[in-house]
Amino acid sequence: MKKANVKNYKSDQEVRWCAGCGDFAVLNAVYKAMAEMNIPTEDIAVVSGIGCSSRFPYYMGTYGFHGIHGRAPAISSGVKVANPKLSVWQITGDGDALAIGGNHFIHVVRRNIDINLILFNNQIYGLTKGQYSPTSKMGAKTKSSPFGTVEQPFNPGELVIGARGKFFARVVDANIKMCTEIFKEAEKHKGLSVVEVLQNCVIFNEGIYNFINDKKERSDRQIFLKDNQAMIFGKNKDKGLMIDGFKLKVVEIGKNGITEDDILIHDAQEKDTALHNALINMRSPEFPIAMGVIRAVKENHYDDLVEKQIKEVQEKTSIKNMDDLLCSGSVWEVK
């Protein structure tokens, strides 16, 4: 099949993010993923909440709905359940998804509705100009925490696991190729797919991901996980992950008698959450940051179960329309 043109997925609106914002790269990766998968533009609905990233639908040449703060998971749930043929994408940020919309976020994950949820995590409120968010690191000095925050941040992936999520992936905005590839994986997965994008806010949180993103060092500071492949990373592919008791540890291949065979093989389809959770929680500088599809477990999804239930009930019932319903049960005639 011929690939669709990326241009088809763009709207005629000028993209209005700050120069240097990580959102541009993500937008381009979404265009590319959709084009490469050749999804008809009319079959795509992009839904968002409020925040910088939530302007996203306006830049799409697809159907789009810009909702209200935090409620996009509910809106996109309604879109998908009402019209399950659509490819539904939900765009959200760390404040939108995890603060005001925290409740909707965990429930859309729990219900496992077939939506691709792209979570832009820049650890800051951008649109309201620089207040700390639920993912800001403890001690972060921001406009609303001049002396540093005194609260623990969420780790989005951990929340996904806690809400019994079936798909979680992590990417970084600077890597368009990785973003494109992972967005395609999210679209292919049936059920709710959360993709956390580590995204740079050039104005209010410039450089928070510089350490893991440093061009020279990033292959040592990130590990791109692939299903069924060994968890090996590093410039020279000489580092790997192993289990040490209940914890992960970084080892060097070729030292202390460790060979490639000792390195863990990534199994994204494993139902048990323990190792996925450990991978999600790896922190710099002790560990590389886990990228790619960390968890992708096949499971029945809500929208499909609803359709099946309707079909089952309709096959059995004698009530085929409203007139039938009105005349069902206890009815009498007055002559």
Residues that bind other proteins in the complex, under the rule CB under 8 A: 11, 13, 40-45, 47-48, 50, 57-58, 60-68, 71, 73-83, 85-86, 103-104, 107, 306, 309-310, 313-314, 317, 319-323, 325-327, 329-335
Nearer to other proteins, 259 or 330 (CB): 330
Q: How far is the CB of 308 from other proteins (least distance, A)?
A: 10
Give every CB contact of residue 204 below 8 A, 6+ residues apart in sequence. Answer: 122, 124, 125, 126, 129, 130, 142
Nearer to other proteins, 86 or 198 (CB): 86
Q: Which secondary structure element, helix H or strand E, spans residue 260, and what is its range?
A: none
Kindly report the CA angle at 18 between 17 and 22, in degrees rounded to 5?
75
Cβ atoms of residues 301 and 112 within 8 Å: yes
Q: How far is the CB of 105 from other proteins (least distance, A)?
A: 10
Compute the distance between CA of residue 89 and CA of residue 184 in angstroms, rounded to an integer. 12
Compute the distance between CA of residue 231 and CA of residue 235 in angstroms, rounded to an integer. 14
Q: How far is the CB of 44 from other proteins (least distance, A)?
A: 8
Compute the distance between CA of residue 30 and CA of residue 38 in angstroms, rounded to an integer. 12
Nearer to other proteins, 54 or 122 (CB): 54
Which tokens hold the place of 65? 């709905």
Instruction: Note if the bond before 285 is cis, omega within 30 degrees.
Output: yes
Give every CB contact of residue 259 below 8 A, 6+ residues apart in sequence. Answer: 253
Q: How far is the CB of 140 from other proteins (least distance, A)?
A: 29
Q: How far is the CB of 39 from other proteins (least distance, A)?
A: 12
Compute the distance between CA of residue 78 and CA of residue 94 in angstroms, rounded to an integer. 22
Nearer to other proteins, 175 or 193 (CB): 193
Nearer to other proteins, 67 or 126 (CB): 67
Three-state SS at 85: coil
Which tokens hold the place of 185? 């994986």
Nearer to other proteins, 69 or 184 (CB): 69
Nearer to other proteins, 245 or 329 (CB): 329
Q: How far is the CB of 322 from other proteins (least distance, A)?
A: 5
Q: How far is the CB of 166 from other proteins (least distance, A)?
A: 18
Q: How far is the CB of 167 from other proteins (least distance, A)?
A: 20
Nearer to other proteins, 39 or 290 (CB): 39
Give every CB contact of residue 210 below 8 A, 6+ residues apart in sequence. Answer: none
Q: How far is the CB of 96 from other proteins (least distance, A)?
A: 13
Three-state SS at 148: coil
Compute the distance between CA of residue 260 and CA of residue 86 in angstroms, rounded to an integer. 43
Q: Please, how many CA atoms are within 13 Å of residue 332, restricted to the half-sphere of its CB?
A: 2
Nearer to other proteins, 278 or 306 (CB): 306
Three-state SS at 258: coil
